[in-house]
Amino acid sequence: MRDHHDLGVFLQTRRARISPESVGLPVGTRRRVPGLRREELARLAGISVEYYQRLEQGRAARPSDEVLDAVARVLGLTGVERDHLRTLVRRPRPKRTAADEPERARPERAGPERARPELARMLALLAAPAMVINDRFDVLAFNPVARMLFVGALEGGNLARFLFLEPAGRAFYVDWDEVAASTAGQLRVAAARRPGDPSMARLVGELSAGSPEFARLWAAGDVDLRTHGAKNLRHPALGVLTFTYENLQPSGEHRQRLVVLTPVPDGPTEAALQLLASWADSDRDAARAGRSLQER
């Protein structure tokens, strides 16, 4: 039922954003809902209304690429949205039998997820702020300069919680609205790919209950993926800093990614990064001195 609901919500929200006049249809005065009606979409896609209704309800058996492409064309889906549609339509459904345990009685996965050792070692070699996160935005590892830049956010364990639930998160991300929309969209993509992940379900529930903004964004059904871009971050001591970032996904690793932030050249951020690095060195030296005293 959850699969059917997710697919239906996605297609309904995509229909709602298409104005009839944009696809050559007359604008009626008796429209109860915004956007295209089911029968209008079906006609434009060249499929029957009955088949489209089964598709939206998750009851269409293995729709062809041609059908999905036709629906995506009418809805004006982006590449990310097309992939998300295919994920929702074709992800495997869990098989349940009478002998299965109730969902709530199943044991949790043992132990927290850890950064792949090779990625964790790579962090120490990078002078730029860098971290390893997974598709739930759990922070699995980070280097000292990233710790100085994010000022306590990384120790909290999850960047989405920091963004939506912590007042410091709203202050830290200068372009908060844009970052929030992107984060919610990326979580929706990850949730569709991992429908059996209880940690993802708990995170979405926690964010929905604690943040009206997240609840609104989640209900909108939008999806997103980011491989690179720019971020404006407000450091409490150094002011607004501008970085470009790269999300690097290692071969063979589908959930973890290495995020590296590079300062915009020839600007104040480059000088600020040198200061952050010196603070990280001082912090590391102090920690070593403390361990030395304890060993005596």
Same domain for 148 and 276, yes or no, is: yes
Same domain for 129 and 39, yes or no, is: no
Decide if pLDDT at 65 tops 60.
yes
Residue 266: CATH number of its domain = 3.30.450.180
Contact 76, 23 (CB under 8 A): no
Q: How far apart are CA 226 and CA 16, in angstroms?
A: 25
Same domain for 162 and 244, yes or no, is: yes
Decide if pLDDT at 133 tops 70.
yes
Decide if pLDDT at 80 tops 90.
yes
Same domain for 213 and 143, yes or no, is: yes
Asked whether residue 102 is domain-assigned, the answer is no
Asked whether residue 103 is domain-assigned, the answer is no
Q: How far apart are CA 218 and CA 185, in angstroms?
A: 8
Q: pTM of this prediction?
A: 0.84
Question: What is the per-residue pLDDT for 124?
Answer: 87
Confidence of residue 2 (pLDDT cuts 50, 70, 90): low
Decide if pLDDT at 282 tops 80.
yes
* Digit-coded pLDDT (tens) for 161-208: 999 999 999 999 999 999 999 999 999 999 999 888 999 999 999 999
Range of the domain at 245: 117-295
**Which two three-digit tokens encode residue 123?**
């962090």
